[in-house]
Amino acid sequence: MALVGRHVSVAGGLEKSFERAKEIGCNAMQIFVTNPRSWAIGKIDSGVAEAFRKNAHYTGITAIAHMPYLPNIGSSDPSARSKSKESLKGNAEACGILGIENLVTHMGSHMGKGKERGISNVIDAVESALKPGLKTRILLENEAGHKNSIGDEIRDLYEVRDSVKGKLLGFCLDTCHLFAAGYDITSHKALDRIFSEIDMNDVFAIHLNDAKMELGSRRDRHANIGKGHIGIEGFRSFLNYEGISEKIIVLETPASTEIGEAEEIALVRGLFS
């Protein structure tokens, strides 16, 4: 069965997230392993780590982690840079302690210093986080293409990927961000074009989100599956494209009165043929 889930809360303790995911029919989930609104990287308590690993084992749920909101690994500002590098390193270490194999990070913003400089900052941050012995892979997430962003073009991802060859580095593709950045993912033909640029073996996770705005809007506004411009048939094409069903698929869609979380997971499962 395909690994499908959503981003879930860790309120009450990291190990509590499994119950929440299970309740809504997930066999995959995404969590924050450190406070998403803070720079602080607390030590993972050994009891928590043990409970987390135990729950992962008993529920059979595959967990991935997402970096907190504040870090910007593409920044050239010395203070923001060093804090962001520490955060990436700390989150990767926390994942290692919890047995989480994949950590998603944005490439961030170059803050007007130019993409080339931003990308070299990303390479430096990733290199310093990927220390020998680390078992957690870092996944670069593609961006919607807001001002100064890095990662809205597939070649940005490969500039980093190619500079850190052989290391634990891959991609997390966000469908809303691809669409907003101008990559049509709604037909087999369009997907052939995209995956002539992306090696499917470099993709480990998918953020499955519909797009509130039209193709190429450069705006990051998630919609519930089937309620945006990608649409049900668009997702049907995408999910059945060769190789996608083997990836860890995680929804980051808004809370909705029209569709419950469990219902949305079931809807996605029903789109695989």
Regarding 93 and contact with Zn ion (CB under 5 A), the answer is no
CB atoms within 10 A of CB 67: 24
Which residues of the chain form beta strands (DSSP E)? 4-7, 28-31, 62-66, 102-106, 137-141, 169-174, 203-208, 210-211, 222-223, 248-251
Reduce the secondary structure of 128-140 to three states and give it as a string. HHCCCCCCCEEEE
| 27 vs 142, beta carbon nearer Zn ion | 142
The interface region with Zn ion, picked from 87-95, 135-143, 192-200, 260-268 by CB under 5 A, is: 135-143
Give the residues across from 209 on adjacent strands: none
Comparing C-alpha atoms, which of 148, 134, 133 is closest to residue 77?
A: 148
Task: Give me the phi and psi of 194, to 5 degrees please.
Answer: -65, -45
| 22 vs 90, beta carbon nearer Zn ion | 90
| 141 vs 264, beta carbon nearer Zn ion | 141
Regarding 220 and contact with Zn ion (CB under 5 A), the answer is yes
Minimum CB separation from Zn ion for residue 265, in Å? 19
Residue with tokens 């924050």: 32
The interface region with Zn ion, picked from 54-62, 124-132, 214-222, 225-233 by CB under 5 A, is: 214-222
Q: Which two tokens stand for residue 127?
A: 């290199």
Interacting positions 140-159 with Zn ion (CB under 5 A) = 141
Kindly state the DSSP code that residue 73 receives in the 8-state scheme.
T
| 90 vs 228, beta carbon nearer Zn ion | 228
Q: How far is residue 25's CA from residue 48's CA, in Å, rounded to a whole number?
A: 23
Interacting positions 41-80 with Zn ion (CB under 5 A) = none
| 141 vs 210, beta carbon nearer Zn ion | 141
Minimum CB separation from Zn ion for residue 213, in Å? 11
The interface region with Zn ion, picked from 118-126, 154-162, 186-194, 216-224 by CB under 5 A, is: 216-224
| 39 vs 272, beta carbon nearer Zn ion | 39
Q: Which residues bind Zn ion (CB under 5 A)?
A: 141, 220
